[in-house]
Amino acid sequence: MKDGLAGIFARLAASRQAHERDAERLEFVDALETVAQAIVSWAEKCAGEARQLAGSAGEGESKARLEKLAAALERVPLHPAGSFYEAVLSIYVTYSFVPDSLGTLDRYLLPFYEKDMAEGKLTRDEATAYLQELFLMLQGRMKPDDVRFHRGGESHFCVGGYTADGEDGFTDLSRLIVEAMLELPTWVPQLSLRWTAKTPREVLRYMMDRERHDANKRIAFVNDEPRIRALMQIVGLPFEQAVRYTMLGCNELALPGGIMMGSAMENILLCVERTVYGRAAELPACRTYDEFYAVFRQELHRLMEEIVQYEDAFNLARARDVNLVSSLFLEGCIENAQSVTRGGCTRAIAQPIFIGISNVIDSLSVIRQFVYEEKQCTMAELLEALRCNWEGHEDLRTLISKKARFFGNHDALSDGIARQLTSDIYAELKDHKSVFGYSFLVGNLIGYNQHNKWFGSGTRATPDGRHDADMIQFGIGQSEGKDRSGLTPLLASIATCDPNGILCGSSVTNVMLDQKLIRDDELFEKTVLMMETYFRQGGIHFQLNYVSPEELKETRLCPQKYKSLRVRVSGFSDYFVALDGDLQDEIVTRTEHAQ
Amino acid sequence: MQRTNDGSAMIFDVQHNSFVDGPGIRTTVFFKGCNLRCQWCHNPESQAMEPQLLFDAEKCTGCGKCREVCPQHLKSCTLCGQCALYCPGDARSLCGEKISVQALLEQIEQDRAYYEASGGGVTFSGGECLLQPGALGALLRGCRERGISTAVDTAGAVSWETLEAILPDTDLFLYDIKCISNGRHRQFTGAGNAVILQNYQRLLSAGKAVWVRVPLVEGFNTDEEELAALCAFLRAHPPQRVEALPYHRLGERKYRALGADMAQHTFPVMEQERAEELKKRFREST
Ligand code: SF4
Ligand code: SF4
């Protein structure tokens, strides 16, 4: 938008000179140029079509509009955009080549918006109309019979967040973008508010208010504070670059012009399984929890090494392929004359996603509490119970389900274990770089592919009371009633377990709220303050569901009646009736518990 | 009456992030034991001073575990709690636990950030928390020392001296006024309301902030005569705020779990529209 494709051609030419002795790289640069040419030709073709249509249209508004379109297409995306209209149009045209996310829309459109508004060249209504065209194109990219059509887990972008000068970036344009999107009866795109410690309460309230009234559930919330810290500390970005991050897909973290490499889903509960089964012979000899933890720590180390290797293997497999289209727009690929899939991009994060973190914390907590602190059972007894999949040891399992100091209750024991675990994961990964030299930033999100179910089905019984093959938990949030003390202790546990921003990758916290809060403004106001406090305490993400368990149960009995009920699942939202039965069950349990 | 002065209180629940027990986001501590017996009470397990064993037949799978673990063979229960601990179906639970003032203060302290952001604090409720004045006083003082705002939710059927003792450390009273007719009050709650109304007026004269809560129960206080009397009384002695709370049936299951006779505790549930209308009438009564 700033340099136009003309700028890209210039960079391609420079790169060709720099790599003139490297035939393979030159071939790649040539290919990129062909792609860039194709985009230009396409825009020209569209411009011609618009001219022709304008010619055959009678005098009037639509003729004028077509002429404006043709004139603009003759400029962008080849040349830098000269107006808000042209800026939106160049996204429209090039989006098909980088089909990921609109990124930080309110930020890069702002100079165009402010200039045109100040010069009287643009009205709010016009700006809204242009943006809506863009949003409709995004929805239109999905086929109606694609599961993603109404899932909303695609084309995620952000508004607000820190600007390079350290101020909160939520502007009049941000608000206009939100209004423009919500006015459409679409599911795609969806957006997150990037909250900062400087975000006015009025802005958070506004966004939460729009969210509670949006039947299509398109708004979520992320916290800039821990995430920017993690991007600086773990990825090593300077502040001005860290503030450019965006969310895309379900809830993945990304850097504009950069890429998230790998994103392998990992079952982290494996390290518990390997400890309690694979190392079972050594465990009864551990006299203290610390001795036990040392064994576990070795398994954690082994798993982390495997994960790094796996990430590399995954990336190397992908490197067999060359990406021509995205490489054109990603930072460094042109200069390095190298495909993004082969590490050409200079700005990237490896973002493995760990599923089952809460199960690990809970399993360790149970061992510490039951075996070492309260001595309710011996290690041998616990291991035997696991081996039998709790059969014949139901009493112990009942006791654990009732008395264990599970994660999410702001309990010193499990919170301490959570801190230790996340610190150790951080320590394991901080000196590792992926095969292309990128840093690791861990997340805990599960995509919509139900890894929690698949991973669970291959994992044996664990000390937190799971049976063989039971689902494991996704995200870090309300689950199965283990958080017994209510929402604030849960949020406090989440917020304090994360000293090194280890969960600052793709991260999800689902919050179930009583439906009353939608209607009652006084109660709603308290919800706003609660979520603001959660962010002040360091929470990284939240998304809200307003439902009653009665309603959800009804839904299962007569799905027809509740066709339009939407819920947030991991990072996306979908119609409840369209979800898989197990996911429906899980949501019902979560909701019942929230009451 | 049991007086707990030993630095602990008989509690049946602690609820974090409560939005409905006073201003802001609050932690509500429910004391066990009450001296009234309101027929519509939705927390019947809060009435007795002693711990109680609840049994929810709907959840019982008939596994027989309770019989196996009970040292009394399920006769003449000593409230040891073993059966509740091992019941796999959550059918049995022990309600009521002595918790030290110190431990409660620590729990309350946890949500300080939420109180500060929202103008909230702690609410001591019940049951009737004023039946354990020693522990309540210690808790209120502890909160005062920690700068945590306090509210006391009471039915007011206690001596004025009991109330007076906690005035300095209580920022807000949530005060139940159920009906004006003394006879009817006695019939439905087991006690007259003279002391209650008198204490209420004294709280106002003492300059305390009071929010009045009126349960709306069809067949008890929603006839025109009673409504008019309530509104007139509140107009004559206006509190800071009035909240009318329509009766709901969420308590029914608990009555059954306590083995109580349901017929006595079932009231009709008010139509939504009528409930809204009455709530509005009370909001505007002062
Ligand atoms: S242990 Fe629980 S579920 Fe089993 S018979 Fe006793 S009450 Fe019923
Ligand atoms: S509480 Fe103890 S004594 Fe009472 S029924 Fe249960 S196990 Fe028996």
pLDDT per position as a tens digit, B17-38: 888 899 999 999 999 999 999 9
Q: Which H or E run includes A265? A: strand A265-267
Ligand 1 proximity of B61 Cβ (cutoff 6 Å): yes
Residues A358, A498, single domain; the answer is yes
Percent of chain A with pLDDT over 90: 51
Sheet holding B150-154, edge to edge: B97-100, B8-18, B26-31, B121-125, B150-154, B172-176, B209-216, B241-246
Better pLDDT: A460 or A152: A460
Contact criterion met (CB below 8 Å) for A415 and A407: yes
Pairing relationship of beta strands B209-216 and B241-246 according to DSSP bridges: parallel
CA count, 13 A, side-chain hemisphere, A536: 19
Residues A165, A275, single domain; the answer is no
Q: Which ligand is nearest to the CA of B86?
A: 1
Q: Quick one: pLDDT band at residue A534, thresholds 50, 70, 90?
A: confident
CA distances from A530 to A210, A329, A443, B104 (A): 17, 40, 24, 22
Percent of chain B with pLDDT over 70: 97
> Given this model, what pLDDT does residue A448 score?
45
Rounded CA-CA distance A69/A80 in Å is: 16
CA gyration radius, chain B: 20
CA count, 13 A, side-chain hemisphere, A29: 24
Q: What are phi and psi of A535, to 5 degrees?
A: -65, -40
pLDDT at A570 exceeding the cut of 60: no
Residue tagged 């969210």 (tokens): A211
CA distances from A486 to A410, B28, B177 (A): 10, 12, 29
Count of CB pairs separated by less than 8 Å, A with B: 58
Residues across chain A: 595
Contact criterion met (CB below 8 Å) for A308 and A289: no
Closest partner CB to B118 (pick from A486, A489, A529): A529
Which two three-digit tokens encode residue A168?
A: 């909160």
Residue A260 is assigned to a structural domain of this protein? no
Helix, strand, coil proportions of chain A in percent (round to 5)? Answer: 55, 10, 35
Helix segments in A170-322, DSSP class H: 172-183, 201-212, 224-233, 239-242, 270-273, 289-319
> Given this model, what pLDDT does residue A17 score?
95
> Given this model, what pLDDT does residue A594 score?
46
pLDDT at B3 exceeding the cut of 50: no
Out of A80, A107, A131, a domain closes at A80
Taking CA atoms only, the protein residue closest to ligand 2 atom 8 is B70
Ligand 1 proximity of B58 Cβ (cutoff 6 Å): no
Q: Quick one: pLDDT band at residue A144, thresholds 50, 70, 90?
A: confident
Residue tagged 């009528």 (tokens): B274
Residues A482, A395, single domain; the answer is yes
Q: What are phi and psi of A392, to 5 degrees?
A: 80, -5
pLDDT at A465 exceeding the cut of 50: yes
Residues A314, A438, single domain; the answer is yes
The sign one gets for the Cα dihedral B62, A398, A483, B254 is: positive
Residues A76, A118, single domain; the answer is no
Q: Which domain holds residue A55?
A: 1-80
Helix segments in A57-104, DSSP class H: 61-75, 84-94
Rounded CA-CA distance B245/B40 in Å is: 12
Taking CA atoms only, the protein residue closest to ligand 2 atom 7 is B70
Residue A553 is assigned to a structural domain of this protein? yes
Q: Which of A332-341, A537-546, A579-588 has the lowest mean pLDDT?
A: A579-588
Rounded CA-CA distance A261/A215 in Å is: 33
Residues A335, A483, single domain; the answer is yes
> Given this model, what pLDDT does residue A579 score?
66
Residue A318 has a CB neighbour count (10 Å cut-off) of: 15
Ligand 2 proximity of B53 Cβ (cutoff 6 Å): yes
Q: Is the Cβ pair A526, B24 closer than 8 Å?
A: yes
Contact criterion met (CB below 8 Å) for B247 and B274: no
Residues of B in contact with A523 (CB under 8 A): 19-20
Which two three-digit tokens encode residue B182?
A: 């003394």
Closest partner CB to A488 (pick from B20, B86, B111): B111
Out of A51, A80, A109, a domain closes at A80
Contact criterion met (CB below 8 Å) for A438 and A331: no
Ligand 1 proximity of B93 Cβ (cutoff 6 Å): no
> Given this model, what pLDDT does residue B194 score?
96
Q: B65, B78, B86, B95: which to mutate for ligand 2, most atoms within 8 A of CB?
A: B78
Percent of chain B with pLDDT over 90: 72
Window A:517-576, CB contacts with B under 8 Å: 517, 523, 526-527, 529-530, 532-533, 536-537
Contact criterion met (CB below 8 Å) for A493 and A414: yes
Per-residue HEC secondary structure of A349-380 comes to: EECCEEECHHHHHHHHHHHHHHHHHCCCCCHH
Rounded CA-CA distance B97/B31 in Å is: 10
A110-118 and A84-94 helices, crossing angle to 10° = 150
Residues A126, A145, single domain; the answer is yes
Q: Is the Cβ pair B87, A398 closer than 8 Å?
A: yes
pLDDT at A443 exceeding the cut of 60: yes
Please, is A536 exposed, middle or buried when counting C-beta atoms within 10 Å of its C-beta (0-12, 13-18, 19+)? middle
- Name residues whose C-beta falls within 8 Å of residue B236's C-beta, 6 or more positions apart in sequence: none
Residues A497, A513, single domain; the answer is no
Residue A62 is assigned to a structural domain of this protein? yes
Q: Which H or E run includes B55? A: strand B52-55
Residues of A in contact with B110 (CB under 8 A): 410, 488-489, 492
Residues A502, A437, single domain; the answer is yes
Rounded CA-CA distance A110/A1 in Å is: 12
Residues of A in contact with B15 (CB under 8 A): 486
Q: Which atom of ligand 1 is nearest to the CA of B62?
A: 5
> Given this model, what pLDDT does residue B11 score?
97
Helix segments in B151-244, DSSP class H: 160-166, 182-189, 194-205, 224-236
pLDDT at A480 exceeding the cut of 60: no
> Given this model, what pLDDT does residue A503 score?
63
Contact criterion met (CB below 8 Å) for A435 and A346: no
> Given this model, what pLDDT does residue B4 score?
44
Which two three-digit tokens encode residue A479?
A: 């689950």
CA distances from A236 to A103, A242, A441, A500, B146 (A): 21, 9, 11, 13, 41
List, for residues A79-132, the tens digit of each pLDDT value. Answer: 999 999 999 999 999 887 776 789 999 999 999 999 999 999 999 999 999 999
Residue A87 has a CB neighbour count (10 Å cut-off) of: 23
The sign one gets for the Cα dihedral A516, A522, A528, A532 is: negative
Task: Identify the DSSP state of A3.
Answer: S
Q: Quick one: pLDDT band at residue B248, thresholds 50, 70, 90?
A: confident
Domain count of the fold of chain A = 3
Better pLDDT: A501 or A520: A520
Average pLDDT over residues A537-560: 71
Rounded CA-CA distance A447/A475 in Å is: 10
Taking CA atoms only, the protein residue closest to ligand 2 atom 2 is B80
> Given this model, what pLDDT does residue A595 score?
41
Which two three-digit tokens encode residue B271?
A: 């139509």
List, for residues B58-75, the tens digit of each pLDDT value. Answer: 889 999 999 999 999 999
pLDDT at A347 exceeding the cut of 90: no
Rounded CA-CA distance A242/A259 in Å is: 14
Rounded CA-CA distance A307/A312 in Å is: 8
Residues A173, A234, single domain; the answer is yes
Q: What are phi and psi of A268, to 5 degrees?
A: -80, -15
Which two three-digit tokens encode residue B196?
A: 């209650």
Q: Which of A102-111, A137-146, B85-94 has the lowest mean pLDDT?
A: A137-146
Out of A47, A80, A113, a domain closes at A80
pTM, rounded to two decimals? 0.87
Average pLDDT over residues A194-214: 96
Q: What 3-state class would DSSP assign to A116? A: helix
Percent of chain A with pLDDT over 70: 85
Residues A423, A453, single domain; the answer is yes
Preferred mutation among A533, A542, A550 to probe B, highest tally of B CBs within 10 A: A533
> Given this model, what pLDDT does residue B1 score?
41
Closest chain B residue to the Cα of A396, Cα to Cα: B86
> Given this model, what pLDDT does residue B49 score?
93
Residue A64 is assigned to a structural domain of this protein? yes
Rounded CA-CA distance A591/A594 in Å is: 5
Residue A258 is assigned to a structural domain of this protein? no
Residue A191 is assigned to a structural domain of this protein? yes
Residues A270, A247, single domain; the answer is no
Better pLDDT: A199 or A229: A199
> Given this model, what pLDDT does residue A234 score?
81
- Name residues whose C-beta falls within 8 Å of residue A308's C-beta, 6 or more positions apart in sequence: A429, A432, A434, A440
ipTM of this complex prediction, to 2 decimal places: 0.87
List, for residues A497-517, the tens digit of each pLDDT value. Answer: 655 555 667 677 777 777 777
Average pLDDT over residues B162-187: 96
Please, is A148 exposed, middle or buried when counting C-beta atoms within 10 Å of its C-beta (0-12, 13-18, 19+)? middle
Closest partner CB to B110 (pick from A403, A489, A523): A489
Rounded CA-CA distance A364/A289 in Å is: 9
Q: Which H or E run includes A267? A: strand A265-267
